[in-house]
Chain A
Amino acid sequence: MARYLTRNRLRRIYKWGGFPVSHDRKLKTDEYDSLHISLEDLPRTTVITNGQYILIEGVDDDHPYVAKVTKLIESDKKKKALVQWFARVGEVPPNKLKLLGREPHPQEIFYYEGPTCEDEIDVESILNTVQVKFIPVGAPFPDVDRQEVLYVKLSWNTKVFKVVTPEQIETATAAAPRLVPTPGRLRPALPPSPPCSPALAATPRSRAPSRRALPTPDPMVMNRAAAAGGHSVRGTASAGKMVAAAEAESMHSASKISASKCLSGKRRSCVARTPGVRKKLELSSPRKSLMDGDEGLCQLLDEDLDQDVLMVQRSATTLTRLMSQPGGLTPARKTSRAAGSWGSQSMKPVLSYMSLGGDSSPETALQDSDRELCGVASLEDEVFDMGLTLTPRRQATPRRNPATRGQKASTPSRRADRATKEHSLGVLAEENENSPMEPAAPTPRTSRRKSAQLVSSRIRKQLSLLDDVHSDGDDSDEFLPSVKELRSSSDEEEPQEEEEEEEEGEFCARLDSDDEIVAKKSKRGAAAPRTPRSARKSQASMRTPRKTPVKKATPTTPRTPRHATPSIPSRSLPARQPGSALEEARARLHVSSVPESLPCREQEFQDIYNFVESKVMDGTGGCMYISGVPGTGKTATVHEVIRSLQRASDADDIPAFNFIEINGMKMTDPHQAYVQILQKLTGQKATPDHAAALLEKRFSHAGPKKESTVLLVDELDLLWTRKQNVMYNLFDWPTRRHGRLVVLTIANTMDLPERIMINRVASRLGLTRMSFQPYSFKQLQQIIMSRLNKVKAFEEDALQLVSRKVAALSGDARRCLDICRRATEICEHTSLDPGAPGLVGMSHVMQALDEMFSSAYVTAIRCASVQEQLFLRSVLMEFRRLGLEEATFQQVLVQHQALCRVEGLQPPSVSEALAACQRLGACRLLLLEPSRLGVLQRVRLNVSQDDVLYALKAE
């Protein structure tokens, strides 16, 4: 299954379709109508037009970005496209996905409404077109088997999911390109020509209907357009005749209906039904709707099956509307206005016309349509003249034709499959035609367009009215031609109400058949430059399996067990809560307890906050280096900043951002940083190399709807590698235009960039630095006070002692808190009355300080055995004799044995003395060479000689 034509090995060539449609003098940009993408050496071209859904090369080859083209422009010789983004499931942060309240559908995408969104992309990043389908909120997703279709149900604005309406999707895109109705476009196959007169434009069309009665599918599309107009005209002009012809027509089309198509149609229709949503559609501006219709017509003529077929329906209705309006044809102005105000009261006549039109013979329909189309053309001219913003779209028309052709050609092979299948199933389909196919089926492309929705809603109304008018809804055959036109043009109108199932089924059948006709036609009657369809199909099939199916399957399955996050089992009894004041104080003083605020770091907080905030606001990137000795609140301050920023972003004061934290100490290898960042960013697992590549892509490409990312890199010095490429990348990404990455780095040494970084890394880190000074004793005191928060557990003096002592030593807040905690314990133990231990006083704090800071060397020497003490002494003696701070064991041994004799002890054997020496070495009172050197090993003292003397004398 060709899913996405992912990046090809072959070079792709991007060409504009035709000449600029308009030129913006201010911005110096040219606007184009379509874009041709062709592969080197391959004749096939993909055509991108405005309003089309495209896949854009993203971080992940399997999940390219999805967007809708709103504009194609060229500026500075660069081909750009303005797009409306859609977010895939994978692009929504995993934690936010929970807001969805259900499992996201794998093919689901979200209409992206986030604030920070670069909507301009380079056309070279466009991979292919894609089908996107709108699904109303309540409706279930279709079966997954058709994986090349994406579904929109909700919109995503980086904070919440909202219900999306079809207009929403449409408005974003409809604005710019759709404004210009061009009569020239009505002429499909003509070479580039100056805007042609309505009469000229009409000529080819007049030919089309003539072919219509032929069973060959080829001209059918032409017919559709013509008939769309024609029937409506006929409706106004005369009552239906030529039932037979119509019947033949219906038979013919019915033969093309395949069972599969019907099934898919059913599926689609049940999804596409939200009356509430569609009601709104009528409110769209009159002019636009009219123009949409026009364009639709044009596109229809261009056989732009893929999406524009819908438009025909639209145009048809417009035309009928025009007709229904007395004198509506001539005054274009009026028409355009009328189209909007066109209400349900006018609907009735129109519908009846249409239904009647179905009876008309092809010939008359043909003529009528001719006439009508001329009318439309002139009308369009008028509209064009009057429209201020209606830029010369018509210039683009001639070019449009090949473009659309090409596009069709590139539609996924699915269509071709269907075509062949349908062919074979044609017989079956005949029965199906009349069978109730109530769930009329929108093709996957259905609700992609707002205009389509609009039209469909109207049609629905019309049809419901029609039901009233025609009490006998069974004569489908009779009015089929007209309806068929509607249907075929609109392709997926079906958003119908349940009542008119029959007709609906009919419609869908028709429409599908039309699709199919087009497909066939393109297959068979392809013009020389186009590749035969079969060839194309095979290409597609060749290309796809390489990536999509395989990869899709692999990451998901094994991931599940691995991802099952383990946890420490929970305890049966809840932890006991602190009882006394001292226990309470101890709990508050624990380093882990997160304080409400961080006292004494206000300035640093503000600086970091401003830095990050400004970067997030601007959507730019930047680096900051934060240094300070351990325990000065660096990480805590950054976390505090992030917490406040997240609050601000929740309150919509600043754009949403991702926060990712990595810690050099918490990874086994500097390159794991990539893996961790990627995993926290997207939830993907990858090898370091792959992760680096993905991140590189992510940060360097114009990501869609990319949120800013704030990355905290703790213990930066551990990310050092020989080539420093990890650090280089981390600091390089923020400098990318589309990076939107703010990197906060933390390390201990102030001059880390100068000391360990090579120039190009240090340069990228920049000079935004901040240094956290060790806490002064006042600050430490304040920290303890704020933590204790009025729990009276300490004497003032005791607190001051602790903070002064710690400030003098290191200024490490952790140390300070630990000492206080220990002091409370000592206080508890030493108090005489266990019930009321009283306050922690000076003595307790002193004892705690002693425990923590005093070295045990002196005590250890005092507690050593006699031989060990003697050995230490002899070491001192030998040092004094040698005048060096080092001696071999053998030398010391001589002294030792002499000393033993002086002391009146039996001299130990060499083994014993060596054992004593080793024991002292194990405690690190002595520093020894490896013991395999035996008597030759050298001995040094690890304590000062004074300490040894002091310890030995005091005995």
Chain B
Amino acid sequence: MEGGRPLLLSCSGDADSLPTREELGRLRALVKVYSVVQVTVNMSKRKLKDSPMPIGECISQVQTLLRERLCHQQLPQRPEGVDSQHKHLMELLKRTAVHGESNSVLIIGPRGTGKTQLLRCVLAELLAEEDVDKTLLQVHLNGLLQTDDRIALKEITRQLSLENVVGDQVFGSFAENLAFLLEALKKGDRSSSRPVLFILDEFDLFAHHKNQTLLYNLLDVSQSAQTPVAVVGLTCRLDVLELLEKRVKSRFSHRQIHLLPSLSFSQYLQAVQAQLHLPDTTFPDTTFCYDWNASLKALCEDKSVEAVLLRHFNSTKDFRSLHRLLMAILCRVSVNNPTIKPADLLDASRLLSADAMTNVLHGLSILELCLVIAMKHLNDIYDGEPFNLQMVYNEFKRFLQRKSNSLYNFELPVVMKAFEHLQQLEVVRPVDAAAAVAARAQREYQLVRLMLDHSQIMEALQKYPQCPTDVKQWAASAFG
């Protein structure tokens, strides 16, 4: 069952069965790393452009520019709507960098609200200051990449380039590494050693490490007269403090910077416009640029577009999902379609908001669809109780008898094959897979549950190409 998941993810984009948070996060983390690589490639491309250009050139120019903006989260000059948080964090890090004061802080906010962006903005600003960039040492850790303290310690040692101090011997045992790092941090003092900035992405995952050793030690350093450190944690969990062990919690300064998406719909619209806006000054072809911006303005004033965006806004304020939408639009821009049309937006929106499981159902055979319908009826009859293949087959048989139509008269082994296919697609799910395997229950009697809502089944049936009417009727009828 679990093995089938990656396949599902890759072929159907986002399947209904959402990947676990960890999987998603790991992907995110990797994407973040990957994006850095791509920036450099794009930079070199842009320089080749000249001012009078054919339309194709302009389009590719636009694609490059906007894709970079949307995918790589180019830093804005100053993040909007988070002035106080920005100031707080800035002051805090500056004090560490300049005064050598140890600090710890948590930046908390739901996903996609710009925590990392805020931090990167602050860091960029801080490093722009003259004496800071040479002093401040940074250590970036991610709870999804450094899944235990051993890896985290190695990573810290590597990023502080302490391994050079002792040759290649440093990566000894875990205990040695810990002692090594603590020794290193202990030797420093407030005024003379370079401050170290520890950035812990997915901070909450570090709290799950054994004994929270890493957190205890980092926070302990931040509370004692050792090397000045600033521990900045980024997390989306509001209850992160409750995860900390009492000793660790006591050592944490309890500074929390909450980042919550507070923008209104008009701001959201402006943000959309800003994201797609082409810069007048730097874009090579001014006429194209002008046309594009004008069409963009018109687009945003369109009622249907506004409705789509509102729906999207109502669904989520996450900027990443907005970027995904805009990206889908951008892909439709071509030489034949040089500006964004409202229809593009509608299509893109429909694509993104489409139900994943319904899409899966579209690919099923009639037999499999019939089985799903039989399961739906079983669910109705038994009020969501689990069922097994035999029950489904009987239900299906009854349907066939009623219709006296031999068209779908399949043998049990064929039905079983279809059933297994459904199981692989996770349309149905064994109640307790491990227990069933252990008990060596026969497959036709293994209890399963349907993973679909009725609305999804009905929707899928409606959209199913050339769906037999009797099947549709059977699905719609109250009783099997």
B254 touches A568 (CB 8 A): no
- Of A567, A631, A911, which contacts B187 at CB under 8 A? A567
Distance A939 CA – B402 CA, assembled complex (angstroms)? 40
B316 touches A591 (CB 8 A): no
> In the complex, which of the residues B19, B179, B247 has the most CB atoms of chain A within 10 Å of its own CB atom?
B247
B353 touches A912 (CB 8 A): yes
Min CB–CB distance A911 → chain B (angstroms): 5
Q: Find the B residue at minimum CB distance from A908.
A: B315
Distance A748 CA – B100 CA, assembled complex (angstroms)? 31
Distance A914 CA – B182 CA, assembled complex (angstroms)? 44
B21 partner residues in chain A, CB cutoff 8 A: 918, 922, 931
A922 touches B111 (CB 8 A): yes
Chain A interface residue count, Cβ-Cβ cutoff 8 angstroms: 92
B98 partner residues in chain A, CB cutoff 8 A: 575-576
Question: Are A590 and B357 also in contact (CB < 8 A) when A668-B213, A912-B315, A931-B18 are?
Answer: no
A576 partner residues in chain B, CB cutoff 8 A: 98-100
Q: Find the A residue at minimum CB distance from B379.
A: A890
B314 touches A590 (CB 8 A): no
Distance A855 CA – B311 CA, assembled complex (angstroms)? 30
Question: Are A571 and B250 also in contact (CB < 8 A) when A909-B355, A910-B455 are?
Answer: no
B165 touches A829 (CB 8 A): no
Min CB–CB distance A657 → chain B (angstroms): 22
- Of B91, B102, B187, B249, which contacts A568 at CB under 8 A? B187
B353 touches A568 (CB 8 A): no
A867 touches B314 (CB 8 A): yes
- Of B18, B225, B262, which contacts A592 at CB under 8 A? B225
Question: Are A860 and B100 also in contact (CB < 8 A) when A566-B180, A909-B355 are?
Answer: no
Is A852 interfacial (CB 8 A cutoff)?
yes
Mark out the residues of chain B between 325 and 369 whose CB falls within 8 Å of any chain A CB in the assembled complex. Answer: 353-358
A574 partner residues in chain B, CB cutoff 8 A: 191-192
Distance A578 CA – B355 CA, assembled complex (angstroms)? 59
Q: Find the A residue at minimum CB distance from B316.
A: A865
Q: Find the A residue at minimum CB distance from B255.
A: A822
- Of B100, B175, B249, which contacts A672 at CB under 8 A? B175
Is B223 interfacial (CB 8 A cutoff)?
yes
Is A326 interfacial (CB 8 A cutoff)?
no
Mark out the residues of chain A between 850 and 898 whose CB falls within 8 Å of any chain B CB in the assembled complex. Answer: 851-853, 855-857, 859-860, 862-868, 890, 893, 897
Q: Find the B residue at minimum CB distance from A900.
A: B314
Distance A573 CA – B193 CA, assembled complex (angstroms)? 10
Q: Find the B residue at minimum CB distance from A814.
A: B250
B315 touches A857 (CB 8 A): no
A675 touches B175 (CB 8 A): yes
> Total A-B pairs in contact (CB under 8 Å)?
257
Is A654 interfacial (CB 8 A cutoff)?
no
A575 touches B228 (CB 8 A): yes
Q: Find the B residue at minimum CB distance from A812.
A: B250
B178 touches A668 (CB 8 A): yes
Chain B 222-233 against A: per-residue CB contact (8 Å), 1 yes, 0 no?
011111100000
Q: Find the A residue at minimum CB distance from B427.
A: A934
Chain A 133-151 against B: per-residue CB contact (8 Å), 1 yes, 0 no?
0000000000000000000
A629 partner residues in chain B, CB cutoff 8 A: 246
- Of B193, B217, B247, which contacts A570 at CB under 8 A? B193
B253 partner residues in chain A, CB cutoff 8 A: 818, 821-822
A592 touches B254 (CB 8 A): no
B354 partner residues in chain A, CB cutoff 8 A: 909, 911
Is B115 interfacial (CB 8 A cutoff)?
no
Distance A568 CA – B189 CA, assembled complex (angstroms)? 9
> In the complex, which of the residues A575, A578, A942 has the most CB atoms of chain B within 10 Å of its own CB atom?
A575
> In the complex, which of the residues B110, B190, B315, B357 has the most CB atoms of chain A within 10 Å of its own CB atom?
B315
A865 partner residues in chain B, CB cutoff 8 A: 261, 313-317
Q: Which of B30-38, B235-243, B281-289 contacts A (4 or more CB under 8 A)?
A: B235-243
Q: Which of A288-296, A557-565, A697-705 contacts B (4 or more CB under 8 A)?
A: A557-565
B178 touches A915 (CB 8 A): no
Distance A825 CA – B99 CA, assembled complex (angstroms)? 14
Is A925 interfacial (CB 8 A cutoff)?
yes
Q: List 24 A-B contacts (CB under 8 A).
A: A558-B169, A567-B187, A575-B190, A575-B228, A578-B99, A630-B251, A665-B217, A665-B220, A666-B182, A668-B213, A672-B175, A815-B254, A829-B87, A852-B254, A856-B238, A863-B110, A867-B316, A910-B16, A911-B357, A922-B237, A923-B110, A923-B236, A934-B18, A935-B452
4 tightest Cβ-Cβ pairs between the two chains A and B: A630-B250, A575-B100, A863-B260, A909-B355
Q: A593-B225, A814-B223, A936-B451 are in contact. List 20 more A-B contacts (CB 8 A).
A: A562-B166, A567-B193, A583-B99, A592-B102, A630-B247, A666-B179, A676-B179, A748-B247, A810-B250, A818-B254, A829-B87, A856-B108, A856-B256, A865-B317, A866-B315, A890-B384, A908-B353, A912-B355, A923-B236, A935-B451
